[in-house]
Chains A and B, each alone.
Chain A
Amino acid sequence: MDGIHDLGGTQGFGAVRHAPDAKAFHEGWEKRVNALYSLAVRLGVFNMDEYRHAIERMEPRHYLTASYYERTLTSLATLCVEKGLCTHEDLERRAGGAFPLALASAPGRSNAATRERFHAGDRVRIKADHVPGHVRMPAYIRGRVGVVVAESPPYPFPDAHAHGVASDDEPTYDVRFSTAELWPSSADAAYVHVGVFQSYLERAPEK
C-alpha cells in the first residue's frame, strides 16, 4: 500500500536526534511489548509480514504521532483481535479506556506470473505496480532502473505472506540505484541499495 510508513525520500523532516549512546528502550513497557510481540511470532500467532503490515495499516495521524513501540503495541493488539484471541471491546475493558487499533486490510496477492532469474550486473527496472495490500517495495524505486549487485536465498513473498495467500518463496536482489536516477538533481550524490523481491523486477534494456 502507498502508506504513511513509506518514508524514504520524503522531504520536510528536520535533524536526526542522534547521540552515540542512544538507547533502544526508554521505558519499561517498551521492552515488555517488544517481548510480547516477539513471543506471539515465536508461537505462530502471526508472522513478521503480518506484523509489519498491521503497523502500516495504522490510521496515518496515529502512525505519525505514536512512538515506535506504540506502533508495536497497536500491531500486536490488532492482530490478536483479527486472529480471534480477544475482541476489541474486551481489550478496551481491560485497558480501562480507548484502545486504538489499525484499520482493516486490503487483499494480498501472490507472486508475479512470470519471474526471471537475475545475476550481478544485470540492469533491472522496478515494475510500476500499485499494490493495495502489503508490499516491501518503497515507492521511491517504483519504475526506476538499477543494477543487480547480489541475490539472496529465497524468502516468503511478503505481499502474500502478510495476507495468508499461498505463494512460493522467492529470492530478493540487492539493486543499486544512483540518487540521480531516483531524485534527479534533488538529492545528495550517492548509491542507494534496496532489497527487491524478484516479483517486483523486470529486465531493463542495456544502455
Chain B
Amino acid sequence: MSGADPLTRPAAPVERRVDAIQSVLDEHGMRPGEFIVQADHLVEEKWVPENGARVVAKAWTDAAFRARLLADGKTAVAELGYDMPRHHRHLVILENSESVHNVICCTLCSCTAFTIVGLPPDWYKDLEYRARIVRESRTVLREMGLDLPAEIEIRVWDTTADTRYMVLPTRPPHTESWSEEQLAAIVTRDSLIGVARL
C-alpha cells in the first residue's frame, strides 16, 4: 500500500478509480452526482474565455472601465457579472503595448483565472510549457506561432500564489469603428494567456 505501486503493480483503470472515489464521497452524503452535473454546466457554459474577451472589448472602448480594470481587476470584472473563487482574492491585468508583451504560466501546477479566461487548455498544463516558458520565453512563443520582434520586451508571469492574471491585448488598428460585440469576437483564449497577439 505504498505510493510506489505504479512501479510494481499496474494501477486499476483510471475510470474505475474515479468511480471508487465517487462512491466514497456518495456514502459520506456529499451528493457527488448532483455536483458533477452542476460543474459540467460551469465548465462548459460559465467559465469560458468569452468572459475575458468581453472584459477586453469593454476596456478597449471605455477608458473609465479600463482604468478601473487596471486598478482592481476583480472588482472591475464583477461589474460585468463575472465572479472568481473565494481563494482568488486578486486579479491583476497585464496590459500589452507596442513595446511590451505579457505571458502567463504556472510552473508549479497549472493555476489560472479560470472563471475569466476559461479552464486552462491541455498544453498549458503540460510539462513542456511549465518547464520552458520562464527560461526560453521568446523561443517557446516562436514555436507556438508568435514571433516577437527583438525590441519587444517579454514579461512572463508565474502564478505561484493565489493572485490571478489576465493579459489585456493591444487593440488591432483596423478595428477603430467596431462595436464592443465585434471586438469581443476577435479576442482569443491564447491572447488572454499571452501566447498570441491580435
Interface residues of A (CB under 8 A from B): 5-11, 13-20, 22-26, 29, 31-36, 38-40, 43, 48, 52, 55-59, 61-62, 64-65, 68, 70, 73, 76-77, 80, 85-86, 88-92, 94-103, 136-138, 140, 150, 152-153, 155, 172, 174, 176, 179, 182-183, 186-197
Contact = CB atoms under 8 A, between A and B. Distances in A.
Contacts of B19: 94-95
B28 A85 contact: yes
Given A13-B131, A191-B153, A136 B160 contact: yes
B123 A18 contact: yes
B7 A59 contact: yes
Smallest CB-CB A-B distances: 5 pairs: A97-B12, A8-B107, A195-B161, A35-B39, A94-B20
24 contacts: A9-B135, A10-B131, A16-B144, A18-B123, A22-B123, A23-B121, A32-B18, A36-B18, A57-B3, A59-B7, A61-B6, A73-B21, A85-B24, A85-B25, A97-B13, A137-B160, A155-B161, A172-B162, A179-B134, A182-B134, A182-B135, A186-B135, A188-B136, A196-B160
B85 to A, nearest CB: 9
Contacts of A193: 155-158
Interface of B: 1-7, 9-25, 28, 30, 32, 35-36, 38-40, 43, 87, 89-90, 92, 107-110, 118-123, 125-132, 134-140, 143-145, 153-163, 188, 190, 195-196
B16 A97 contact: yes
Contact of B163 (A10, A86, A172): A172
Given A6-B108, A38-B39, A103 B2 contact: yes
Given A5-B109, A138-B108, A96 B12 contact: yes
Contacts of B87: 48, 155
Contact of B195 (A18, A29, A94, A152): A18
Given A36-B36, A43-B30, A24 B24 contact: no
Contacts of A15: 128, 143
Contact of B131 (A7, A29, A187): A7
Given A8-B107, A80-B24, 9 more contacts: A7-B130, A17-B126, A88-B1, A89-B1, A96-B12, A98-B5, A172-B161, A176-B155, A192-B156
Contact of B18 (A14, A61, A73, A155): A73
B152 to A, nearest CB: 10
Given A16-B126, A36-B21, A155 B119 contact: no
A19 to B, nearest CB: 7
Contacts of B32: 35-36, 39
B58 to A, nearest CB: 23
Contacts of B138: 188-190
Given A16-B143, A94-B19, A59 B122 contact: no
Contacts of B129: 16
Nearest to B74: A153
A155 B89 contact: yes
Contacts of A25: 43, 119
Contact of B134 (A20, A95, A186, A192): A192
Contact of A9 (B13, B131, B154): B131
A118 to B, nearest CB: 14
A94 B23 CA distance: 8
A57 B6 CA distance: 14
A191 B9 contact: no
Contacts of B110: 68
Nearest to B38: A35
Given A100-B3, A183-B135, A55 B161 contact: no
B6 A77 contact: no
A51 to B, nearest CB: 9
